[in-house]
Structure formats: structure tokens, C-alpha cells
């Protein structure tokens, strides 16, 4: 009877119960007992309720505010924020690469890409890395807040990435699969350069390798394809792997980001994009000249009117 009436519960209740069942099925669910914020309800609440609500509220508060969005105070806040994330990313990927190179827990490619069923849980010294990575993604939501304060448009790519990356990394933080450590290392390696670029660009410094940074971002998600192929090979033709849900969630999110970043690249760095930007710049320049000429004519007309009076 209870199962038959469950259908009539609100979608929020059914979703909450589904999250509870998902958490219970995760091999690293026990970590939530000692590690803060490591709950699927908290992850989804931040991603789908708190984040969009705060950003929409902040956008409403910033509408028609009389302050300079390019002022020094906001520039220094943005630079400090990017510096913190850049240094965290640098320390994270160096630590993970060093640990993977010296730790003998997973001694073969099979164990690294496809942890067989029945294997012991990931040691705490290793599981700490995905957890810290998950927490950093929550902190990264300040990226959007700073953009709103600077009165910048929020692209779909930006909102999609920052919203879904929290439940995505929650899968990693509650996983026993060793390959998530490789994902953490690759992502933080890319983010080291990305946040360095963001920090220095606030002071007018434009590194020449911005275009190649976008290529690197696309490449990090494309790496997931061969890794997923190895996982599926070992799963169906080898000993069998745990956590198909982790690999599936990672693959779907990576495919979406490859498509969105490829679209971003084509709109900003191809020859057609460069031609379009030149045309837009010419139109803006001509519009500015027209406005200046119109002001001169209007001022002259006002002067002629005064003379006739």
C-alpha cells in the first residue's frame, strides 16, 4: 500500500527519496558521516535552488545600480578570488600526480580504470582529493557572482557548467573508482592556467595563449572518451567493474561540455568569428561617430535658435 501511494507524493518528495536511495547505493556514502556537505540533498540543493536563486536575486539588485563595475575594488576582489582558485588548483594537481606516482594501491591499468567488484574502499589519503575538489566547485560559484557584480552577461555555457558540476563532482567524491583521481588532476591542471589568465586579465594583461586554453579545456573532456572505452572493455570483457553510474554521469556531462566549448570556440576563434568581430567593431565605431555628429548638429541647432530669439 505504501508503494502504491508513493506515486501521489509531490515531485520534491519523490526526488528526495530517490536521492536517499542513490546515496545509500554509493560506495563512498559513509564519508558523509564525517565530511561536511557531502550529501546529495545538499549538492542538488546548492546547484538547483541556492545557486540560481542567489544569482537571479543579485541580478535584480544590481539592475540600474549607480556604481562603476570596472572600479578598482571589484577588480581586486576578482583578482584575489582567481588567485585563490589558481593556487588551489596548482597545489591539487601537483599533489595528486605525486600521490599517483608514489602510491602502490592500484598497480595495474585494470585496477585504475575499472575497479573490480568486491575490492576494498579507496583509502582516506586518496578519497580526500575528490572531496576537496567537490568543495572547490561550490566555492567556484562565486565566479558567477563576480560576473553579475561586474554587470556581465552570464552565458549558457557558464551557467550549465557551474550548476551541474556540483552533483557531477559529488559522484566523484563518493566514488571508489581510482580513475576519478586522474580526472581531478587533469581538471585542476587546466584550471591552474585558466584562473591565472582570469586574474591577470583584470589588470589589462592578455596572455597570447587564450585560444589554446580553450583547446585545452576541450581536450580535457575529450580524454574521457578513451577512458570510458577502457572502462567498458574491462567491464564487459574483463573482471567486471563497479559504479557504472559514476562513469555514465561523467560521460554525459563531458559530452555536453565538449559540444558547448566547441560552439564557443567556433564563435570566437574561427576565421568567420574573427570577420564577424571586425564587422561588429566597425559598426560600433560608425555608431559612435554618428552619435558624436548628431550631438554637434543638435548643439549647432540650439545655438541658431538662440540667435533667432
First to last CA, the chain: 91
* H helices present in 109-149, as ranges: 109-113, 124-139, 142-149
SS3 assignment for 126-137: HHHHHHHHHHHH
Cα 309 from Cα 300, distance rounded (Å) = 14
- Is residue 97 within 8 A of residue 185, CB to CB? The reply is yes
Helix (H, G, I), strand (E, B) or coil at 16: helix
| Catalytic residue numbers, as ranges | 161
- Is residue 229 within 8 A of residue 250, CB to CB? The reply is no
Cell matching residue 114: 575499472
Could you say which DSSP state residue 241 is in? Answer: B
User: Which CA distances in Å does 184 have to 34, 119, 132, 137, 241?
Assistant: 21, 22, 10, 11, 20
Q: What Rg do the C-alpha atoms of the chain give, in angstroms?
A: 25
The count of other CB atoms within 10 Å of the CB of residue 179 is: 26
b (16+ CB within 10 A) / e for 67-84: eeeeeeebeebbbebbee
Element (H, E) at 266: helix 244-269
The count of other CB atoms within 10 Å of the CB of residue 162 is: 21
Amino acid at each position: 500500500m505504501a508503494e502504491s501511494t508513493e506515486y501521489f507524493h509531490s515531485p520534491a518528495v519523490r526526488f528526495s527519496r530517490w536521492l536517499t536511495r542513490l546515496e545509500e547505493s554509493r560506495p563512498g556514502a559513509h564519508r558523509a558521516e564525517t565530511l561536511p556537505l557531502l550529501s546529495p540533498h545538499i549538492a542538488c540543493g546548492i546547484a538547483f535552488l541556492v545557486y540560481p536563486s542567489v544569482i537571479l536575486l543579485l541580478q535584480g539588485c544590481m539592475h540600474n545600480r549607480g556604481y562603476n563595475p570596472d572600479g578598482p575594488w571589484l577588480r581586486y576582489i576578482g583578482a584575489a578570488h582567481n588567485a585563490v582558485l589558481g593556487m588551489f588548483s596548482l597545489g591539487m594537481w601537483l599533489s595528486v600526480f605525486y600521490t599517483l606516482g608514489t602510491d602502490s594501491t592500484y598497480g595495474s591499468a585494470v585496477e585504475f580504470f575499472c575497479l573490480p567488484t568486491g575490492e576494498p574502499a579507496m583509502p582516506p589519503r586518496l578519497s580526500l582529493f575528490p572531496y576537496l575538489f567537490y568543495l572547490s566547485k561550490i566555492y567556484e560559484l562565486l565566479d558567477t557572482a563576480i560576473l553579475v557584480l561586474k554587470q556581465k552577461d552570464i552565458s549558457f555555457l557558464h551557467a550549465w557548467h557551474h550548476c551541474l558540476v556540483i552533483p557531477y563532482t559529488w559522484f566523484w567524491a563518493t566514488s571508489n573508482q581510482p580513475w576519478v583521481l586522474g580526472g581531478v588532476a587533469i581538471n585542476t591542471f587546466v584550471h591552474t592556467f585558466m584562473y591565472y589568465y582570469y586574474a591577470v586579465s583584470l589588470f589589462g594583461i592578455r596572455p597570447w595563449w587564450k585560444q589554446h586554453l580553450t583547446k585545452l579545456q576541450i581536450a580535457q573532456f575529450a580524454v574521457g572518451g578513451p577512458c570510458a572505452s577502457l572502462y567498458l572493455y574491462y567491464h564487459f570483457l574483463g573482471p567486471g567493474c563497479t559504479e557504472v553510474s559514476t562513469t555514465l554521469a561523467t560521460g554525459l556531462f563531458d559530452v555536453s561540455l565538449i559540444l558547448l566549448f566547441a560552439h564557443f570556440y567556433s564563435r570566437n576563434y574561427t576565421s568567420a568569428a574573427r570577420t564577424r568581430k571586425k564587422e561588429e567593431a566597425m559598426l560600433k565605431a560608425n555608431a559612435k561617430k554618428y552619435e558624436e555628429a548628431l550631438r554637434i548638429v543638435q548643439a549647432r541647432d540650439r545655438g541658431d535658435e538662440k540667435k533667432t530669439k
